[in-house]
Structure 1
């Protein structure tokens, strides 16, 4: 496995992860709980400088629960996107990348990306564009991530060299652009850009390196006639990242397994053959596709990461995570006694983090947060996404509909949706909130409140006090001397 030299020592990388977004913004605490050896991420919670992560947050991410993590910041060097700080709404007629260019648009701003209309291609060799990425004043995108403490930069849209040589419409060509079909010239310009930005970063951090994403044919484009540029490029590049090598196709996720032999060959010859590791990401989340991808990538000498979705909204498990890894089906996922990060993805999942300050995300569908094995009482509020006490101490939770409590005196509250809330043993206090909830007190003297909507409430063993709420509830006292109060609505009450 590759070993990367960083400012704090060597780091062996057996696996990696890749996340740029999250429903409520990229979460530095969640990333710090990830155990991946190398993490590619955005430099901020929302892609803007206003919400960039602090040096302390990046330091915490690098000091991961699984040991030292290589922290890598995403940068697009071949495209300008409308949601980044470097974008100026005056450049187009509607302020967006899809608009018509105005007289205010810089000469380096090129055509809209037909596959992603939020971005426009850029003339990456233009000095004004390059100043947006790095400059002597230290105000470029790269300068910011170096100052934050990132170990490396993940360079997207390196393949723009091919676009400007081959794909750009003739009507969009300007004086000074690479000639039509001149891949060598376009590749040389991209290599020079990457070498220069890496050299600039190394003035601050001598260990800094870059990981280009795609553009794996760039050395072939030199036609074997430019050994100096090739050597400079390989010195700047610590690894290469590639997408869709094993599951290419038009679907966002889960394209059929069909390895691209030509791309694999050039990666093995031009990069692995020169001591440059290959990080391969495919967008798959079904067990069979993940297994096929990981196994074949390993056989080819690559380090795989199966991204659950193309938007990179969630962090997938480490390579080879095995049967406990999340899938798009119904999973039963259990963490360790350390700080875990578990995302259930799609399906009706049961997730138990155990002890440790865990990041637990149920994902879509109907998911259960379990604290059944906690050694002390827990307090859980699904509406506020908060959890504390016992195994819940320090946990960050989201996207759960159901709760399994501990054997102690828990305090559990549901959401405004439909919940199943199980107190289990102990004298629990459970409130359903809105929605047609099912509340099970379990053993112990519980206080159970359906609150709003049509709830089913089962007291279980013990002397329980049950309030139905304001609509038509079904209340079962079960064993014990219970106090059963229907409150408003046409209730059905069984004393037990």
Structure 2
């Protein structure tokens, strides 16, 4: 079954917008690498044949497309100038990408390969995924919770349940078989939606670290990149399990709507923690108007971030700046 055209990721930021009692930590809006105001990161281009970590840290542009791969498939990725690209773990029919196609999309003449990350939701189940069973409509497994009213076909899960985790790890194995450099994990912030579960936050950290351990048992250099839940970097258990952060809607809500100054302050403070630990921050904003787009790229780069601006559906690889 083809995926719905609307991507899943922006719903997490809608949740964050309503969170009560966020801890606000003062942070200069122009903080760059190492927390110095307005200072962009200084890097040396990686040598030929660089490791994934070196290519990740050298990335200065990125793109993000989750649906609408037909008919070009990963062709636009290979034709782009992005240093890093996130695509879904499977094509529009849910089939895993052939390794040759992923490798071809990563290859760049005269340069190191771009970093290819495969998207995987670890905090929600989706009815269009290969693992979904029709019998779950009438006889759901113990870990399957309510459907998200804002995202039909997407269901909250008890992500700490071993059967759900086994389901995701099988999907992770297929993603790794396709030859991706790493996994881009969505719904890491699902712990906010489980206030009735006292250990929700701690269980998410344990879950992310289990994913990292599973992947590294197969490939020690495999990259682990969570989306959102930026505040988890303050937990020392989380730090060694992740390599970078992807985060939505720092400055602009979908679409073209400025975020609150308080949100920006809180996120920029979190990002400073990531960068202080040597982990790059990739941001995504949802806008389609000029001069907003140009301003968003400039503002993010002044803060030492690696930005991408696109449309809410994330169904096209929008040209970078």
The answer, yes or no, to whether TM exceeds 0.5 is yes
1:209–1:67: structure 2 CA closer, same or farther, 3 Å change rule? closer
* CA-to-aligned-CA distance 1:272-306 (integer Å, 9 cap, x gap): 22222111100112221112211111122211001
For 2:282 and 2:291, the matched residues in 1 are separated by 20
TM-score, normalising length from structure 2?
0.78
1:201 corresponds to = 215
Of 121, 143, 149, which residue of structure 1 is paired with 2:173?
143
8 Å CA contact retained: 1:271, 1:278 = yes
Structure of greater relative contact order (alpha carbons < 8 Å, 6+ residues apart): 2
Distance 1:155 1:47, change over 3 A: farther
Q: List alignment gaps of at least 5 residues for structure 2.
A: 1-40
How far apart, in 1, do the equivalents of 2:284 and 2:190 lie?
Answer: 19
Correspondence for 1:119 among 144, 148, 154 = 154
Residue 269 of structure 2 corresponds to which residue in structure 1? 266
Unaligned stretches of 5+ in structure 1?
A: 93-101, 135-139, 166-172, 180-184, 221-229, 322-496
Matches within 5 A, 1:390-401: none
CA shift for structure 1 position 159: 0.7
Deviation string 1:243-278 (CA, Å, 9 cap, x unpaired) is 111012xxx422246553333233234312222211
Partners of 1:315 and 1:88 lie apart in 2 by: 31
The alignment's C-alpha RMSD in Å is 2.3
Provide TM-score, normalisation by structure 1: 0.52
Aligned to 1:296: 299
Deviation of 1:26 (Å): 6.4
SS at 2:129's partner residue?
Answer: coil
CA distance in 2, matches of 1:26, 1:189: 39
Pick from 13, 19, 27 the counterpart of residue 59 of structure 2: 13
- Written as runs of structure 1 = structure 2, the 5 A alignment for 1:28-177 is 28-46=74-92, 48=94, 51-65=95-109, 67-92=112-137, 102=138, 104-134=139-169, 140-165=170-195
**Cα distance change of structure 1 residues 310 and 297 upon mapping to structure 2, 3 Å threshold:** same
1:82-130 per-residue CA deviation (whole Å, 9 max, x = no partner) reads 11111112212xxxxxxxxx3x210100111132122001111110000
Distance 1:292 1:188 in 2: 37
More helix, by proportion = 2
Shift of 1:23: 6.3
3-state SS of paired residue (1:272): helix
Query: If each structure's strand is expressed as a fraction of its own residues, which one has the higher value?
Result: 1
**Distance in 2 separating the partners of 1:25 and 1:313:** 13
